[in-house]
Amino acid sequence: MQRSITGFHQDAEDHWVAELDCGHFQHVRHDPPWMMRPWVVTEEGRLSMIGHRLECKKCEAGAPPDR
Ligand SMILES: [Zn+2]
């Protein structure tokens, strides 16, 4: 299910986590060469992704909200 990004925070290990409008959180790692998300490491890049949609597997699984 496609959900919009509403914000970001960092977890205890400093990994970036996207907050989705469904109440679920999703890690958005920049971990080359496996995960290429250079936008996540800058404030400007993250702000540019607010409102974009990500596939939320937690919704498909019927998981309870993370917040
Ligand atoms: Zn969700």
Q: What is the pTM assigned to this prediction? A: 0.90
The rounded Å distance from CA 55 to ligand 1 centre is 8
Backbone angles phi, psi at 25, to 5 degrees: -110, 150
Mean of pLDDT over the chain? 96
The reported pLDDT for the residue numbered 27 is 96
Q: What is the mean pLDDT of residues 14-19?
A: 96
Rounded Cα distance, 51 and 49, in Å: 6
Question: For residue 4, how far is the Cα from the chain centroid?
Answer: 9
67 pLDDT more than 90:
no
Question: For residue 44, how far is the Cα from the chain centroid?
Answer: 15
Q: What is the mean pLDDT of residues 34-51?
A: 96
The rounded Å distance from CA 50 to ligand 1 centre is 15
The rounded Å distance from CA 56 to ligand 1 centre is 5
